[in-house]
Amino acid sequence: MTLRFAAATSDAIDLHIVPQDDAERWLDDLPPATAQWARASGFKGAVGQALTLPATDKFPALAIAGYGTETSRKRGRFPLAAAASKLPAGTYRIASGLPNSALEIEALGWLLSSYRFDRYKAQPPMTALLIAPEGVDAARVEAIAAGEALTRTLINTPASDMGPPDLEDAARKLAQDHGASVHVTTGDELLTANLPMIHAVGRAADRAPRLIDMRWGDSGPTLTLVGKGVCFDTGGLNLKPGSSMGLMKKDMGGAAAVLGLAHMIMAIGVKLQLRVLIPAVENSVSSNAFRPQDILTSRKGLTVEINNTDAEGRLVLADALALADEEKPDQIISMATLTGAARVAVGPDLAPYFSDDADFVAALEASAAHVADPVWRMPFHTPYESMIEPGIADLDNAPKGGFAGCITAALFLRRFVDASNYAHFDIYGWQPTAAPARAKGGVGQGTRALLHALDRILDI
């Protein structure tokens, strides 16, 4: 769906943003009858409060939105978006109350509030429209919103309509929109192309596994994004219980995230050479499904003992990462809904990531705070390497014991790349309950922080 700012118009309503600790002073400056009406309506400047104030003979119509306190703003994101949905239909322009440093992020939050997943049922649109604030790069903000909308829609779409072929179609459409190229290796071609673990994980499904390889840009530093595209995860022969299978349409959230980020990069025109690799599979149950105790040989030549077929995401990522590393790009980033352990560690709202590059970490952390896209660094804790070494093969895909599950998964992936230029994100990709600018359902995590940090990460 298209998320855009409204065109400037002479009849736009001025919107004033009122912090909670300034609300009484602000209301005192209104005509007495108007102030009385606002107070009677319960307006105190809290996050999520919004009112339109009628015109008088000496006072134009306007709208006010609560901005809360510093404490309340720290406890949530996008405070203006919390008010946007409370305003009546109309076109609004921000007249006062927001610091310049917050204009872009709050304008983005407003756009994201208008996202609707309406493929299967019509959803009421948000009718409060915003004119891009003066000084905000409207095209950039719209590109970011569009990338986030793409990520959300891909995740929200059920596996019946978002299998490996459909994910390929989404990548091809994105490439066509931006003049990128796409090459796809499908089915048994994966064996010929030496991508055996992608084939092994996906071969039991009716819809063939594939590797999607998209390229864009011909100058600048090189960036390769690798996204886990498990379009549905039954757990394979280690079948998940029903309670754990209910959200598995989102197990391609890493692929959705990197495609959304790729849109942002290409639409904005970041000066780099981009490659996107997505191993797209379904982890299904059939007579030819890969089995516990099987030993698979990866593209890199490392052997992997399968101790749980439900730990399949790291297998498909491993082949894609090995392929990515062969070109030695300046930066490799993988994104995946990889482990439940990451959710236990940091919950659904934070995007945990792994990197040994101090410059990457500094750039990402600063950007995450700036764009309200929180991340949390986790350790590539080398002493745990022995936990992923089963003895009978080079690597174990599911170490016993359950300790440090997200760390051992990240260490597994690190075996397939040059660790110095590799970062891995173990995202959730799902908003469990609705929040300002984030509807319940699929959501991007870490992508806006990465976009903002790219100039420092890659020295663009």
Find where tokens 């890969």 sit: 290
C-beta separation of 351 from 425 below 8 A = yes
**Helix, strand, coil percentages in the chain from 3-state DSSP, rounded to 5:** 40, 20, 40
Is 314 tagged catalytic? yes
Residue 95: which of 16, 8, 19 has the closest Cα? 16
Residue 172 neighbours by CB under 8 Å, 6+ apart: 182
Catalytic residue among 250, 275, 314, 415: 314
Which amino acid belongs to residue 454? L
- Reduced to 3 states (helix: H, G, I; strand: E, B; else coil), residue 14 is strand
Following CA atoms 83, 89, 95, 98 in sequence, which dihedral angle do they give, to the nearest 10 degrees? 20
Torsion angles phi and psi, residue 90, rounded to 5: 160, 175
- Looking at the DSSP bridge assignments, the partners of residue 375 are 351
Which amino acid belongs to residue 214? M
Is 240 tagged catalytic? yes
| Phi-psi label, residue 68: left if phi above 0, alpha if psi -120 to 50, beta otherwise | left
Q: What is the distance, to the nearest Å, from the Cα of residue 268 to the centroid of all Cα atoms in its chain?
A: 17
What would the DSSP string read from start to end of 297-356?
Answer: EPTTS-EEE-S-TT--HHHHHHHHHHHHHHT--SEEEEEE---HHHHHHHTTT-EEEEE-
According to DSSP, residue 8 is labeled P
Following CA atoms 430, 435, 438, 439 in sequence, which dihedral angle do they give, to the nearest 10 degrees? 80
Please give the Cα distance from 384 to 377 (Å, whole number): 17
Catalytic residue among 140, 172, 240, 456: 240
C-alpha dist (Å) from residue 361 to 74, 75, 324, 356, 424: 22, 24, 21, 8, 12
* Residues designated catalytic: 240, 314
